[in-house]
Structure 1
Amino acid sequence: MGYLRIGDVDLYSEVAGTGDPVLLLHGGFCSLEAMRAPSDALVPDHRVYAFERPGHGRSADIDGEYGYARGVADTLAYLDAVGLESAHVVGYSDGAIIGLLLALDHPARVRSLTAISANLDPSVFTGSAAPVLDTLVRQPRPDVERRQYERLSPDGAAHADVVLAKLVRLWRSEPHIDPADLARIAVPVLVMSGDRDTIPPGHSLLIAASIPGAQLCIVPGTTHHLVAERPELVGALIRAFVRQAGRSEP
């Protein structure tokens, strides 16, 4: 546990366990506390790496807006800083989008990808679906994340509203991933979401169907916060997939 200098900022990092490397990428307005279930499931057999992006958890915020390109750049810099040429990537929400972009544009760095509640474009949250984004922000779980933010952030509790406003602007404007481009992803992929997710099951199906050989898992009785709602099930599914992907490596 500690901080690493990534680009022009100090980002909080945790490393635990031994074995094949796994990189955890948290969601927007989350900290690493939201990834404890997959971390706990993976640590017995894997070396698990994780860091908190700017404005999240224990990492201070940055000036200006957020963007997925910056998230990818920070992730690549983190892999370099910890000496990893590649890792199995487990991403949730914003972290899953970053994982998809990594697999598309930097395939040599990704051994496998678990993408939990990812979306390809803002249409999930905009236009006629705009109330969905409001629901995502107002669902009970963000209250938990706000308490975590207030407890962990070096920027102080009041800065949570600044971070959340920047995230909403991000979610309304990015990402822009063409489903046809996903056919270029050649590593094992597990696409996961909840059956009551703010990401419609059909959108998760589109992602999985666009990636050759990808697996799809819709977790019953869960929302966008499926990792917290069914931690043992989600952790077991991720562990089984990553172990299978590791055995299939050349």
Structure 2
Amino acid sequence: MSSGSYADVNGINLYYETHGSGRPLILLHGGLGSGEMFGPVIPALAAQHQVITVDLQGHGRTADVDRPLDLGTMAADIAALIGHLGLDRPAVVGYSLGGGVAVRTALDHPQLVSKLVAVSAHAWTEAVYADMRAQQGQLSAAAAEFMKDTPMYQDYQRVAPRPEDFPHLLDKIGAFMAEPLDLREAIAGLQVPTMFVAADADMAPPSHYVEVFGLLDGGLRDGGWMGEGRPKGGHALAILPGLTHYTIFASPLLAAVTNAFLSEG
């Protein structure tokens, strides 16, 4: 069973749902989605954790507010929610846009986070395939009419407090994706044990995630019989087979590697 609630935090009325019991895990969805998109994997995660799905600013059941979509601001929302709920250093797991928010939460508020799992979240703009960057550059309110037959549009219309805001959300997502991203230096300084996860046919190539793992002291030497050569910060990398950017969030493989990583140590 799950229960849905609102938290008035950081200037936004944030919708969240709680599933299961155990050590807390905050689960953050991708752009134009909501916490509901994790429906296929929530049972496996909730068997070991108290899973808290959050609808980010302007998504799902969380109404938009007068500010841009910004990773730092949305991370501050999550930090405020952790305090509001009195959570003791939850794991933070995020996919795509939510993965960026999860990374930013761990970077800006490391004292609040036990472990980080960033799924299909590239770390710098040019890692994304050029044709995908071109598509992202075209996203704006003008695309709303062409998206009316998509599950993203239909789900938004079903749950959003203001369904008429969908074109405005497209404008904000487009503006967000137009901003250059480069987290190389920041990721190298992560203080929270982190696993980067990607599909083997994701929006950026597997080599990008290997490079990111290298920034975390990973993939630089043999791990050793006792794991003594593994990354010093407890970091990990998972490339999941047979998946894409658009299927990984609902895959049993994602739940399996997430549970395994969070149960270590």
For the superposition of Structure 1 and Structure 2, which TM-score range results when normalised by the shorter chain? 0.7 to 0.9
Deviations 1:172-224 (A, max 9, x none): 204331x2332322332211111221122222222222113232222222221
Partner of 2:122: helix, strand, or coil?
Answer: coil
Partner of 1:37: helix, strand, or coil?
Answer: coil
Q: Could you tell me how far 1:42 is from its partner in structure 2? A: 1.4
Partner of 1:49: helix, strand, or coil?
Answer: strand
Question: 2:34: which partner in 1?
Answer: 31
Matched residues in 1 for 2:12 and 2:187: separation?
31
The AA in structure 1 aligned to 2:159 is: L
Q: Could you tell me how far 1:133 is from its partner in structure 2? A: 2.8
**1:135 to 1:204, Cα distance in 2 relative to 1, 3 A:** farther
1:180 to 166, 178, 185: 185
Matched residues in 2 for 1:222 and 1:126: separation?
17
Deviations 1:82-110 (A, max 9, x none): 01241111111111112222222221111
1:154 to 161, 174, 187: 161
Matched residues in 2 for 1:53 and 1:193: separation?
21
Question: 1:6: which partner in 2?
Answer: 9
Residue pair 2:122, 2:128 contacting (<8 A) in 1 also: no
Residue pair 1:123, 1:129 contacting (<8 A) in 2 also: no
CA RMSD of aligned residues (A): 2.5
Tell which structure's C-alpha radius of gyration is larger: 2
Q: Could you tell me how far 1:128 is from its partner in structure 2? A: 7.3
Residue pair 1:22, 1:90 contacting (<8 A) in 2 also: yes
Residue pair 1:37, 1:235 contacting (<8 A) in 2 also: no
Higher relative contact order (CA 8 A, sep 6+): 1
Question: 1:16: which partner in 2?
Answer: 19
Matched residues in 2 for 1:133 and 1:216: separation?
26
TM-score (norm 1): 0.86
Question: 1:54: which partner in 2?
Answer: 57
Matched residues in 1 for 2:106 and 2:211: separation?
17
The AA in structure 2 aligned to 1:202 is: S
For structure 1, the 5+ residue unaligned runs are none
Question: Structure 1 residues 39-48 or 122-131, which shifts more?
Answer: 122-131
Matched residues in 2 for 1:203 and 1:80: separation?
34
2:236 to 212, 215, 239: 215
Q: Could you tell me how far 1:58 is from its partner in structure 2? A: 0.6
Structure with more helix by fraction? 1
Residue pair 2:137, 2:177 contacting (<8 A) in 1 also: no
2:107 to 89, 96, 104: 104
The AA in structure 2 aligned to 1:37 is: P
Q: Could you tell me how far 1:46 is from its partner in structure 2? A: 1.1
The AA in structure 1 aligned to 2:186 is: D
1:201 counterpart = 2:206: yes
- Regions of 4+ moved over 3 Å: 124-129, 134-138
Question: Structure 1 residues 125-134 or 3-12, which shifts more?
Answer: 125-134
Partner of 1:233: helix, strand, or coil?
Answer: helix
For structure 2, the 5+ residue unaligned runs are 218-230
Q: Could you tell me how far 1:129 is from its partner in structure 2? A: 6.0
Matched residues in 1 for 2:126 and 2:245: separation?
17
TM-score (norm 2): 0.81
Q: Could you tell me how far 1:126 is from its partner in structure 2? A: 8.8
Question: Structure 1 residues 122-131 or 195-204, which shifts more?
Answer: 122-131
Matched residues in 1 for 2:39 and 2:17: separation?
11
Q: Could you tell me how far 1:67 is from its partner in structure 2? A: 0.8
Partner of 2:13: helix, strand, or coil?
Answer: strand
Partner of 1:40: helix, strand, or coil?
Answer: helix
Question: 1:70: which partner in 2?
Answer: 73
